[in-house]
């Protein structure tokens, strides 16, 4: 996992240097800037694969690449060319295969990525299918600036735009959407009871996804974020089958469910479990740092980012890579408000919307909070094959009703691997299970009057703050970034029911 910034084709080394400095937390192991006739490009590296040789920016045959992410199947993809590789790095695999096959090679990548490939005549940008890895850009007169975080581009002038997921762009022919699962909007309406073979498909696809994400260099430690919920417990169980010993991590407030149930899972699976307790004072102290890294003032996102922040801080003391359960609710309809959707077409459409909009909400939270501590997060549920397997399952098996709890088919698939209490634990938001649900809302209510809220809630042409809690966060956001980040660049969530949040 890494961070990068570039200017094409202008040689704006000053801006690239300043921008790279702002994101050095993404790659503390090495950083470099290359100035060439193609422009200026900077990269900071968190070394996970081929620690000794995968230095970036990487050059080959008059082309240059900067890359953030992991291509889990890159060793298999090397069979697509007869060339001899000089490193074991997936960065080199991307560059060489791009030169042989062109832009469409991205369809064969199984992983999380954003990257840029440059020669003296062109720039190519690409982002992974779901938007696990971030990418932003600015078009400023004749120069394109691009970077891994918004803050790296702040102050350059022009509008900062998020690069779309599942898309690539070439300076000669523009944007192309290379990955689209919209055909899954037509749901499989099979109503027969699911069979053992259906459960096996789910189990096998996720097991393969976890195994791919356990690949690291020999001396790179890896663990799992274990909240004690269904999703993270499944990932832990699958990882534990392949890895011994296995470090797991949980955080929360005193007496919260996450700490209690994560310990139960840890003891059941025999992991090396690490925990951290935080309180309201810790949250208040951490808020400016959380908001600075998250690059958001969205209340729901920050509320869930706080426990992520403490978990990443804890895990970074022991490991360099961490697996998470992110994405299961979006694939299997885990949100409680979805119990009110009985029409299978509407249910499938909602799943599609949830997955499509992960990139600048939940995945942004996961990326920024882990990268704040130079920790790489991997998300097995968002493997392409897992997504396609899940969306191919009859949607009628995901519908909620009185006799079927949310994510029922996922629970059935893994009921032999986890304690009864975990398989039957109802869905809770991370911030709720970790015990921090109302702390900040109550604090904001005490700090901000109704008059202040009414006066300050309109912060842009199309942006209105929706609560005192959000105003509290926006004040901190504005103190940090000022006018350098347009509020409309920030991803927003909306409340469906009291505590159920999804992207607009």
Strand order in the sheet with 161-162: 30-36, 39-45, 2-8, 143-147, 136-140, 161-162
Q: CA–CA separation, 331 vs 338, rounded Å? A: 12
Q: Render the burial of 225-241: b for 16+ CB within 10 Å, e for the rest.
A: bbbbbbbbbbbbbbbbe
- The answer to whether 330 and 358 are in contact (CB under 8 A) is yes
Choose the catalytic residue: 1, 2, 118, 256.
2
- The answer to whether 264 and 250 are in contact (CB under 8 A) is no
Sequence-ordered strand ranges (E) for 92-239: 111-118, 123-127, 136-140, 143-147, 161-162, 167-170, 174-177, 222-225
Sequence-ordered strand ranges (E) for 9-101: 30-36, 39-45, 58-60, 63-71
Q: Is residue 426 classed exposed, middle or buried when 0-12, 13-18 and 19+ CB atoms within 10 A define those classes?
A: exposed
| Residues contacting residue 6 through CB under 8 Å, at least 6 positions apart | 16, 39, 40, 41, 42, 66, 116, 118, 145, 146, 147
State the angle between helix axes of 344-356 and 384-392 in degrees (0 to 180), rounded to the nearest 10.
170
What are 65's two structure tokens?
């690449």
Give the HSE-up count for residue 394: Cα atoms under 13 Å, Cβ half-sphere: 11
Residue 68's alpha-carbon distances to 43, 94, 113, 114, 463, in angstroms, are: 9, 11, 6, 5, 31
- The answer to whether 414 and 234 are in contact (CB under 8 A) is yes
Q: What is the CA radius of gyration of the chain?
A: 22
Q: What is the DSSP code string of 234-258? A: HHHHHHHHH-SS-EEEEEESTT-HH
Residue 10's alpha-carbon distances to 35, 36, 145, 151, in angstroms, are: 10, 10, 9, 20
Give catalytic status of residue 2 as yes or no: yes
275 pairs with which residues across the strands?
250
Give the HSE-up count for residue 177: Cα atoms under 13 Å, Cβ half-sphere: 8
5 pairs with which residues across the strands?
42, 147
CB atoms within 10 A of CB 447: 13
218 three-state secondary structure? coil
Residues forming the active site: 2
């Amino acid at each position: 996992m890494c961070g990068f910034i570039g200017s094409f084709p202008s040689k704006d080394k000053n801006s690239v240097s300043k921008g790279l400095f702002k994101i050095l937390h993404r790659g503390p192991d090495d950083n470099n800037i290359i100035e060439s006739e193609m422009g200026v490009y900077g990269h900071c590296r968190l070394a996970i694969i081929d620690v000794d040789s995968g230095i970036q920016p990487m050059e080959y045959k008059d082309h240059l690449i900067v890359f953030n992410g992991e291509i889990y199947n890159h060793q298999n993809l090397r069979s697509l060319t007869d060339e001899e590789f000089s490193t074991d790095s997936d960065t080199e695999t991307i560059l060489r295969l791009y030169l042989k096959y062109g832009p469409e090679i991205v369809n064969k990548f199984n992983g999380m990525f954003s990257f840029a490939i440059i020669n003296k005549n062109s720039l190519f940008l690409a982002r992974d299918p779901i938007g696990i890895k971030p990418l932003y850009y600015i078009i400023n007169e004749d120069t394109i600036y691009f970077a891994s975080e918004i803050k790296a581009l702040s102050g350059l002038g022009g509008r900062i735009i998020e690069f779309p997921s599942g898309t690539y762009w070439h300076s000669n022919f523009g944007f192309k959407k290379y990955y689209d699962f919209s055909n899954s909007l037509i749901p499989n309406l099979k109503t027969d009871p699911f069979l053992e073979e259906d459960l096996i498909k789910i189990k096998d696809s996720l097991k393969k996804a976890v195994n791919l994400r356990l690949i690291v260099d020999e001396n790179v430690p890896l663990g799992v974020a274990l909240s004690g919920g269904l999703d993270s417990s499944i990932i832990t169980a699958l990882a534990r089958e392949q890895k011994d010993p296995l470090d797991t991590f949980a955080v929360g407030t005193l007496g919260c469910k996450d700490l209690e149930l994560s310990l139960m899972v840890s003891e059941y699976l025999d992991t090396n479990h690490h925990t951290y307790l935080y309180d309201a004072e810790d949250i208040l102290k951490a808020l400016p740092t959380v908001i600075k890294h998250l690059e958001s003032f969205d209340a729901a996102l920050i509320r869930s980012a706080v426990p992520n922040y403490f978990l990443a801080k804890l895990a970074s003391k022991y490991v360099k890579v961490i697996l998470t359960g992110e994405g299961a609710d979006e694939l299997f309809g885990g949100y409680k408000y979805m119990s009110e959707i009985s029409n299978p077409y509407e249910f499938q459409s909602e799943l599609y919307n949830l997955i499509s909009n992960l990139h600048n909400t939940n995945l942004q939270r996961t990326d920024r909070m882990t990268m704040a501590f130079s920790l790489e997060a991997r998300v097995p549920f968002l493997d392409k094959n897992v997504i396609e397997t899940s969306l191919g399952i009859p949607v009628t098996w995901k519908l909620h009703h009185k006799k079927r709890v949310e994510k029922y088919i996922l629970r059935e698939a893994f009921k032999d691997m986890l304690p009864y209490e975990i398989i039957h634990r109802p869905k809770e938001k991370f911030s709720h299970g970790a015990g921090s649900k109302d702390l900040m809302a109550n604090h904001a209510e005490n700090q901000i009057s109704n008059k202040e809220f009414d006066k300050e809630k309109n912060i842009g042409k199309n942006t209105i703050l929706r609560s005192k809690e959000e105003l509290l966060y926006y004040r901190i956001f504005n103190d940090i970034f000022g006018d350098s980040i347009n509020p409309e660049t920030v991803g927003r969530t909306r409340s469906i029911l009291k505590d159920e949040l999804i992207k607009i």
